[in-house]
Amino acid sequence: MKEIITCLSLILSLSCALAQEVKIVPVVLKDKSIELYIHNQTFQGQSVLLDCELKGMTSTEKLPITKFLEVGEKVLFTTLAPKDIYKPFGYGTSILYVEGDVQAKHDDNYVYLLPYPKGTSYNIDQGYLGNKTHENLYALDFNMDVGAEITAIRDGIVTKVIERYDKGCPDESCEQYNNLVLVTHEDGSIANYAHLKKNGAIVKVGDRVKAGDLIGLSGATGWASGPHLHLEVYTASWDGKITLPVNYYLDEKTTGEPQVNQVYAQKRLK
């Protein structure tokens, strides 16, 4: 019995280790109890859910356990101890994880900057919940030519950069070729700047950016019918991202949600 369950644990842990870069790291102590650490070896903060199947063992923490792990962080989730070391015992583990903090709460009072420098203005080709491709998304499409400068809409840390692709088309089959920059904000929400041109990221993972800093160059990669910037602010959840209808500075003082077929000039940046 003991061997079977230990084997189950090994198989599950191994499959996690092979398929994922968020790893369970068990440490066996002298008294035969086992510390279960989880190591985030990815380049994004991850929400992690750990569950264990126990036979003849107890857990110091109530299962399942959810924690947010920063990049590179290794955290003790729980310690499993045999109830009686002279009787069979063992455990199986499973983990689930998603990029971003599922417990993040967006600061709805925050007003964002338009994503381009002083002296520029762009039309909104598709707004929040637009019926072309934003049916369930609070996302904005800015009509930008290839190579147009994109600036950060809020302070944050760059948590993902993809810029190696050079392909785009107007259907879902091209989604895999999407270049993007993700910036994670203080409240755990994330801005997604999508469809950048090949090698069009000006920043790299780990960079701190300020609102208004140049971060990338527009393009037409991924699922795109032509050059534009697709921009959304979202929080993570176990079922995917939850995009948010955030407010922007529409001119120097007016704030609100940008509307489709309106041109907005950048007037907040000096």
* Nearest residue to Zn ion on Cβ basis: 230
Asked if residues 226 and 214 have their Cβ atoms less than 8 Å apart, the reply is: no
Closest CB 232 distance from Zn ion, rounded Å:
8
* Total of chain residues touching Zn ion, rule CB under 5 A: 3
- Those residues with Cβ within 8 angstroms of residue 143's Cβ, 6 or more apart along the chain or in another chain: 122, 123, 124, 125, 228
| Paired sense of beta strands 247-249 and 111-112, if any | parallel
Is the CB of 141 or the CB of 163 nearer to Zn ion? 141
Query: Quick one: which of 262, 233, 264 has its CA closest to 247?
Result: 233
Count of H-run helices and E-run strands, the chain: 1, 23
Place of tokens 């701190």: 208
Out of 141, 177, 192, 200, point to the residue binding Zn ion (CB under 5 A): 141
Catalytic site includes residue 228: yes
Given the residues 185, 195, 228, 230, the one annotated as active site = 228
- The residue range among 138-146, 169-177, 246-254, 257-265 that interacts with Zn ion, by the rule CB under 5 A, is 138-146
Closest CB 53 distance from Zn ion, rounded Å:
42
Is the CB of 69 or the CB of 139 nearer to Zn ion? 139
> Rounded CA gap, 93 and 13, in Å?
7
227-246 footprint of Zn ion as x/- string (CB under 5 A): ---x----------------
Active site residues: 228
Site residues (vs Zn ion, CB under 5 A): 139, 141, 230
